[in-house]
Amino acid sequence: MVQKKERVIHSRVGPLHVEQDRLILFPKGLVGFEAQRDFALVRLREDSAFFLLQSCTDPQLGLMVADPYVYVPDYRIKISTVEQELLRLRNIREAVVLVTVTIPPGKPEDAILNLVGPLVINIRLRRGMQVPQNQLRHPPRLHLAGGGQTGEGPPCEPS
Amino acid sequence: MLILTRKAGESLYLGDDIKVTVLRVQGNQVKLGFDIPRDLTVHREEVYLRIKEENLMAARATEQDFFMATELWSRKKKE
């Protein structure tokens, strides 16, 4: 039996046992958090599209992120050659894309996906980067409860 | 802040390896060209500031809202 190596991360939601293969290096940090390099991507519920991107060194710093493709199946982003090199991407199948989530205080049903600053992760090397989109062909934000991006896209009504 | 005046077609260097050229001035718009090292990324300030604010917001959600949203939207996957 091969036991997966685990590491205990002190997160904003308490201590978490994180498998080594969920640890991600962001060599340039995140926008506004440039000094933070080591993060863990934690799934708090098996069937959820939402994750916690938790700093391994600052327990207070945990960002809510989500898989955008559950809600925006045609989400397309541009990754420049320089960014692909920094991520050491060999092909696009190695890339996992996440977006940050904004929750208005006390209104989790009004969660918003932010589509301008996607996080791209090379899943083979567990190396990540935030890749600002200067020219986005989607509306910049998706209100999950609002039935999609300014009337487009599939409705996502709470059931 | 350092302030310099340049005409269209003129350039300036930031250090040794960053060259900024004023390509065209039209009305209130300036078109700039950048010769920069390959590993340098350039972003529009408003995009950068927007993402910074969004990152802060994503980190600011309360624990309760966080878990609620995870619960709520776990059932939202495509049917």
- Output the pTM of the full model: 0.82
Token couple for B52: 């910074």
Q: Which amino acid is at B15?
A: G
Closest residue to B59, CB basis, from A63, A116, A130: A63
Distance from CA of A1 to the nearest CA of B (A): 32
Flag whether residue B78 sits within 8 Å of chain A, measured between CB atoms.
yes
Q: Please name the residues in contact with B26: beta carbons below 8 A apart, sequence gap of 6 or more.
A: none
**Model confidence at A153, in pLDDT bands (50, 70, 90)?**
very low
Residues listed for chain A:
159
Token couple for A25: 């290096």
Q: Give the lowest-confidence range in A5-14, A75-84, A111-120.
A: A5-14
Closest residue to A49, CB basis, from B51, B59, B77: B77
Averaged pLDDT score across all residues of chain A = 87
Inter-chain contact B58–A64, Cβ cutoff 8 Å?
Answer: yes
Inter-chain contact A49–B61, Cβ cutoff 8 Å?
Answer: no
Average pLDDT over residues B18-41: 92
Token couple for A155: 């409705």
Token couple for B44: 């529009």
Inter-chain contact B58–A111, Cβ cutoff 8 Å?
Answer: no
Model pLDDT, residue A159: 34
Judging contacts by C-beta atoms under 8 Å, the chain B residues touching residue A82 are 38-41
ipTM of the complex: 0.84
The CA R_g of chain B, rounded to the nearest whole Å, is 22
CA angle A44, A47, A50 (to 5 degrees): 50
Model pLDDT, residue B47: 94
Q: Give the lowest-confidence range in A86-95, B6-15, B67-76.
A: B67-76
Judging contacts by C-beta atoms under 8 Å, the chain B residues touching residue A117 are 47, 50-51, 54-55
pLDDT in tens, A107-131: 888 899 999 999 999 999 999 999 9
User: Helix, strand or coil for residue A87?
Assistant: helix
Residues listed for chain B:
79
